[in-house]
Chains A and B, each alone.
Chain A
Amino acid sequence: MNRDGEGTALEAVGLGKRYRRRRGPVLQDCSFHLPAGRICALVGPNGTGKSTLLALAAGLIRPTEGTLKVLGTTPARARERFAYVAQAKPLPPQLTVAATLRLGAELNRARWDREAAERIAYGPVYANPYADPYGEESGSAYGDMHGEAAADPVPGVGPGVGPNLVPGVVREGGLHPRDRIRSLSGGQRTRVALALAFGKRPELMLLDEPMADLDPLARRELLGALLGEAAEHGTTIVMSSHVVAELEGVCDHLFLMGGGRIRLGGDPEQLLAAHTLLTGPARDLSGHTVVESHGTGRQLTALIRTDGPNSPPTDGWETAAPSLEELLLAHLRNPEAPDLFTEETGGTGTADMTDVTDVTDVTGEENARP
């Protein structure tokens, strides 16, 4: 089992993927490194290769160039140790929920955790009749859900009563074993797909837009379950999303995709600390790494990196810390901003800038928007 700071979950070197029927590569010269034990958000606009990257990591497609190591080996060799949930949450429509979980058990005979899978599919009360393994131990949202469940018990569902014994009683959000997959909503299918992932007890979860179809309650419950899994077992979690806010505050690692590669990578707090939002009278910003600047008349607002020789500037600028969303949107609007990777090397290490040799010193005027 991977622990924080030990091992590498994903390592890409010069990764490229080109589809035959598509102009231009989806991924190009993509290199990054994800330490094991992180909860990583993979964000970026639609069509920037998030799904392609996850499918490559899951060994479903082959890269056209470069290499991608998963848990220190090839995706095919790591197959038993990671779980993958595709964006469309494909499940055999003719099966029931119970049969789908049996399928997970049969296809993962060496490592199936039935209880973990059923807890996700049927909700906490159903599948956890005897014990409360997550209990009070964590302050995660999962624990909160348990609190709610305990405070508001489903009538007739006492300890030791399995889901099959209580026909017609379904916990909010939870599924019934005999529900057919084809009758489920998108969010409910997500729940089943995640249940398969949990049942596998993987070292790494690759989740493509796992939260997209979920209602806020289910999102809270399942995010909490993911955090609980990561906390308890050191599971590395990679979740893609095109909604930045969805994963803010959840992840301790962030990859921003754009232009077929990872443009920002690292701890979100360190990424934020490496940027400053400046407001002040319009003037020359050369000497700073400007991600984005726009001004109205004499007033200029700019997002700069705090890595320059004379950063952060003090001369008459109002400085502010950008929000994560501002930071990411600024990079998305400005594809020419240099890539940035922060690497935690223990403690409160300073941002380790890479790939700043070709810094385009964008001046305020050049990048100003009228």
Chain B
Amino acid sequence: MSNFLPEYLERLKKDTGVLPTVNQVELHPFFNQKEQRKYHEEHDIITESWSPLYRAGDIFKNEVLQSIANKYKKTIPQVILRWHYQLGAISIPRSSSPPRQLENISVFDFALDYEDMESIDKLTRPDGRINDQDPAVYEEF
């Protein structure tokens, strides 16, 4: 599934008796999908994050992320992708550059501590979606 809100998943379960193995949703530090992830966890659904790096926009200039990156001698994209990993979410960053492709998967040799995870968690905001694509009103047609 992609972009299925908990109420759609509930309807699916009621009508068919099955739930998907994965649900791919918009997820990045500015929109952390706490409630959606909680529902997934309770129903054994793996969260997949689309636009995990916020399409490389302003997020790469974020001071909180930069200070965490400095602490671990990593880049901001690496800190963000490690955050997804520690949330238990599968991320699918897009890159056509081989060095950046490698950078994006070189995140398994360090771990963010609890305070770092909390600091990143606090970057989320209600209007944090990239293009205001709320699945309640937006359809991928």
Q: Do A and B come from one complex?
A: no
